[in-house]
Amino acid sequence: MSKSGFKDVEFDKSKPEAQRPLGSVNTPPDSPKRKHRPMELPLHKASDHGSIGHRRRTSWGELEGSLTIPVSPGSHNTIEVPSLRSPDADSTQFMHNLSATPSMRERRVSRNSFGASLPIPKSKRQSRLSSVVYPEGEGAKAGLPMSATRDILTAQAQDVHSEKVQAAKNMAFVFDIDGVLVHGDRLIPQGKATLDMLNGDNQLGIKIPHIFLTNGSGKPELARVEQLSKILHNPISTDQFIQSHTPMRALAEYYSTVLVVGGEGYRCREVAEEYGFKDIVVPNDIVAWDPTIAPYRVFTDAERATSRPRDFTKMNIEAILVFSDSRDYATDMQIIMDLLRSERGRLGTTAADPVSQRIPIYFSQGDLLCPTEHPTPRMSQGAFRIGLEAMYKALTGEELERVVYGKPELATYKYADEVIASWMDELHGEERVPANVYMIGDNPASDIIGGNMYGWNTCLVRTGVFQGGDNDEENPANFGVFTNVWDAVTAACRKELGDDFGFKWDARKMNPVLHDSHAASAVEV
């Protein structure tokens, strides 16, 4: 039994890794215990081999996947992370009874194709569009530049408690957003207090590193952090923010002409343009060119005026990128199926071989459910993907090979390391990943399983998807289950910084003009 109270998972080394329980992908019982990142998988530069998803034979005699994508010559800004695969990759089980809801227990991993890799940016954040975003109409708050007096007082407090300062710099928080800090556009009250404290409203006046890791998507990063800053009444930087499609900027080095699907209006086209994709097509462009391709779609004059039609029988779309939830399942699924069954992405054609001539398709995340303002979670991009997989199997008899980013994929967590280290450098001048990383999430099937497999401390909150018992039975949080984000963060701080750590800054206790006790006792709480 581990210290956390959960049974250690025993390895069955006679089985291939893909057939082991998901809990077994962590460090085997006889390996040295590590506090952070126990699982080290090989990373590859994009120029290391000729294609992603190159075929190779496994130890049990099967050929790994044929999903290939081109590599740009001389690429230096990308690394490739092996994808995860669950044993339940066959979509047949979802076609027996179309009214059955796929089991979350059986779909804990994104079911990526064998051999697929997920490219992510190798360098520091490439988009420093905003250093700090301030909430509109707010005065000086935690996280904003401090006055000279506050600087002096916090330096004094940190000198007195140097050990706590080092401990605070050796921990970091990774927050899911929907269901943890907000419900759609509504603030979860404890979210603001939590960020206030981490941004300096604490005993030491110190900023404790934290980033945001969400499977949400559909907007440019700057637009999303501006929106969140207003809701949370705290400054959020693009440099500490990861949406599900943020790591997909790396794919701009691989593809030129892409179909981008999902999101409101043309927001996802804006995202793709910002990421560096050269030739971006959205479903509206195709419907404007040929309305008969989507016979049930009512296409408005306003949509036609803002679309970019052309003759799509004279060009090849190289890849399909589902950046966000579809706003029109019927149209988007029809166009995607036409492209997947075409000859190398040319509309108006039908491939003789639906496998070798198929273009790749990428999904930004795989969540089946997402918390919103509605009382119960709504279906998300994972449901859209399941439908496509079942349709493709029914029409071609073949399994759909595809790649899924987002939590719980390893690539997303490795990219999070890049962002944490960069943010640590901005806050404290130390470009490194702290030893004690805490993932705060509401979805056991993405936030918790991903954090567990990556060696993070995981905290499950009850303000979103999870509404269960003492802990999730299939993917238990290893640090615990908490009522809300404040309870989770303060519990982690007490563990790392001591039970006497104060969660409020009190200038009176540090300022000798306002408080006549000695400075050494001034920071006591």
Q: What are phi and psi of 364, to 5 degrees?
A: -75, -20
Q: What are phi and psi of 411, to 5 degrees?
A: -60, -40
The predicted-structure confidence for 51-94, as pLDDT tens digits, reads as follows 333 333 333 233 344 555 565 555 567 777 777 654 334 443 43
pLDDT of 205 reads 85
Q: Which residue has the tokens 């399941």?
A: 386
pLDDT of 381 reads 87
The whole-angstrom separation of Cα 411 and Cα 104 is: 21
Considering Cα of 16, then 20, then 24, then 25, what sign does the dihedral take?
positive
Tokens of 475: 């993917």
Which of 157-161, 213-217, 336-340, 494-498 is least confident? 157-161
The whole-angstrom separation of Cα 342 and Cα 352 is: 9
Within a 10 A sphere around the Cβ of 408, how many other Cβ atoms? 29
Q: What are phi and psi of 327, to 5 degrees?
A: -95, -5
Tokens of 471: 């802990």
pLDDT of 69 reads 56
The predicted-structure confidence for 287-324, as pLDDT tens digits, reads as follows 999 999 998 888 888 888 999 999 999 999 999 999 99
Instruction: Find the helix or strand (DSSP H, E) in which 79 lies.
Output: strand 78-82
* pLDDT at residue 262 greater than cutoff 60: yes
**pLDDT, mean of residues 183-210:** 92
**pLDDT, mean of residues 480-500:** 95
pLDDT of 298 reads 86
Residue bearing the bigger pLDDT, 97 or 356: 356
**pLDDT, mean of residues 26-55:** 40
User: What is the secondary structure of 143-210 as a DSSP string?
Assistant: TSPPPHHHHHHHHHHHHHTHHHHHHHHTEEEEE--BTTTEETTEEPHHHHHHHHHHTT-STT-PPPPE
Q: Which residue has the tokens 């960020």?
A: 195
Most confident region among 14-18, 22-26, 177-181, 397-401 by mean pLDDT: 177-181
The predicted-structure confidence for 99-152, as pLDDT tens digits, reads as follows 223 333 333 344 566 456 788 887 555 443 334 444 444 444 434 455 556 666
Tokens of 489: 């963060």
Contact 129, 270 (CB under 8 A): no
Q: Which residues pair with 322 in a beta bridge?
A: 261, 363
Contact 369, 409 (CB under 8 A): no
pLDDT of 187 reads 95
CATH for the stretch 39-54+66-123+245-363+366-404: 3.40.50.1000
Residues of the chain with CATH 3.40.50.1000: 39-54+66-123+245-363+366-404, 148-236+420-522
pLDDT-derived band at 11 (thresholds 50, 70, 90) equals: very low
pLDDT of 366 reads 82
As a residue count, the chain comes to 525
**pLDDT, mean of residues 248-267:** 92
The whole-angstrom separation of Cα 444 and Cα 408 is: 10
Contact 271, 219 (CB under 8 A): yes
> Cα 502 from chain centroid?
31
148-236+420-522 classified as CATH 3.40.50.300:
no
The predicted-structure confidence for 368-389, as pLDDT tens digits, reads as follows 877 777 888 788 888 899 999 9
Contact 367, 215 (CB under 8 A): yes
Within a 10 A sphere around the Cβ of 101, how many other Cβ atoms? 12
Residue bearing the bigger pLDDT, 133 or 262: 262
pLDDT of 92 reads 39
Looking at beta carbons, which pairs linking 377-386 to residues 24 or more positions away fall under 8 Å?
A: 377/179, 377/464, 377/465, 380/215, 380/325, 381/215, 381/217, 381/262, 381/322, 381/324, 381/325, 381/326, 382/107, 384/322, 384/325, 384/326, 384/329, 384/332, 384/333, 385/322, 386/91, 386/94, 386/102
* pLDDT at residue 525 greater than cutoff 80: no
Cα–Cα distances (Å) from 428 to 8, 166, 259, 380, 420, in that order, read 36, 11, 41, 37, 12
- Is 385 buried (19+), middle (13-18) or exposed (0-12) by CB count in 10 A? buried
The whole-angstrom separation of Cα 192 and Cα 197 is: 9
pLDDT of 97 reads 31
Amino acid 450 reads: G
Residue bearing the bigger pLDDT, 523 or 146: 146
Which of 17-21, 271-275, 490-494, 520-524 is least confident? 17-21
Q: Which among 491, 471, 495, 489 has a CA at the least distance from the CA of 481? A: 471
pLDDT of 77 reads 74
Residue % of the chain over a pLDDT of 90 = 47
* pLDDT at residue 408 greater than cutoff 90: no
Contact 250, 121 (CB under 8 A): yes
pLDDT-derived band at 282 (thresholds 50, 70, 90) equals: very high
pLDDT of 519 reads 42
Amino acid 398 reads: E
Within a 10 A sphere around the Cβ of 498, how many other Cβ atoms? 12
The whole-angstrom separation of Cα 188 and Cα 464 is: 10
**Strands of 457-461's sheet in order across:** 241-242, 210-213, 171-175, 436-441, 457-461, 480-482
Contact 441, 412 (CB under 8 A): no
Residue % of the chain over a pLDDT of 70 = 68
* pLDDT at residue 197 greater than cutoff 70: yes
* pLDDT at residue 417 greater than cutoff 60: yes
Q: How far does the chain reach from its first CA to its final CA, in angstroms?
A: 36
For residue 267, give the 3-state DSSP assignment.
helix
pTM: 0.72
